[in-house]
Structure 1
């Protein structure tokens, strides 16, 4: 996330990595056409209000838009040992899985 989002997130309450994961998984289940989407998302995350979930979503969309616009530099990930040894499959497969997971979030 961008620096602005981190600051905004801190002011709206912190989210644990578990809550973030629950939030991302719930987004894949409850798309924009789901009745009571925000209540379902808040219930799935646990410990967050509907307003907190909405704000977290807005920050996520903002961050994704910045990344897609090229405003956020991509990190330099180190290749796993298998990829460094010439077998790029492990690295490629993990990136494919993460890419597919992000697509399944159905942000908009």
Structure 2
């Protein structure tokens, strides 16, 4: 008798390589955004704004950039079986590709 336990493996999921939380693709989308926001928060200044307005503007910018990066990293279109980042790249490649039109 064979006492092996067969564990089903979902090959459609990404392997979580970074701290067992993020895949490499997710890390490469999220990390540069965090670095940019951190560096801009410390060294950047939005022109023509006072201190408080500058701080609020940076906060709004960081929330918007974080939301966009999170959307690209974590949202998956089940209909197309693609993450949002892959979907956007494939749409851009399709729009830029040469198309052959025929008339009937």
Normalised by the length of structure 1, the TM-score is: 0.29
Considering fraction of residues, name the structure with more helix: 1
Larger radius of gyration between Structure 1 and Structure 2: 2
Normalised by the length of structure 2, the TM-score is: 0.30
